[in-house]
Structure 1
Amino acid sequence: MARGADGHVIIDTALNNRGFIRGIQALTGQTGGLQAAVKRLGGAIVTAFAVKGVVDFGRRAVQLGSDMAEVQ
């Protein structure tokens, strides 16, 4: 060991995480857009099922009316 050395080693463990933080913020913004798209898609699916239900109801009503006309 050299004279005058105290035997200590200093290691700087500071972490530059600015890029990581920017990446997380960008990802959060992208998931917000994805969330909006999923909500729109969900609304479209609900609308499609509602329209299908109305069409099926109309079809059954017409069939029932036809059946009643045949019976009379």
Structure 2
Amino acid sequence: MTGKLIVIPVYKKGDKSDCNNYRPISILPTCSKVFESIIYDQISDFIIQNNVIPKFQHGFSKNKSTFTNLLDVTNLIAK
């Protein structure tokens, strides 16, 4: 892997001759995407198996959201 990206300007709106009306999109090489996915899965499995994240932590956790966090808090208050 060389660490190089292909950056493509994508038009947003406004005058097409104004560079501020474009946003850069980087195209990652396929190998980088596969490598990232493998590393993510291994780290995620380790975190789950070793209870690194407390059970009340819902942000950035699989199958959890602010809604599930709200349900947990509501259930605690109801007890």
TM-based fold match above 0.5: no
Higher RCO (CA 8 Å, separation ≥ 6 residues): 2
Bigger fraction of residues in helix: 1
Bigger fraction of residues in strand: 2
User: Smaller-chain TM-score range?
Assistant: 0.3 to 0.5
Larger Rg: 1
TM-score after normalising by structure 2: 0.30
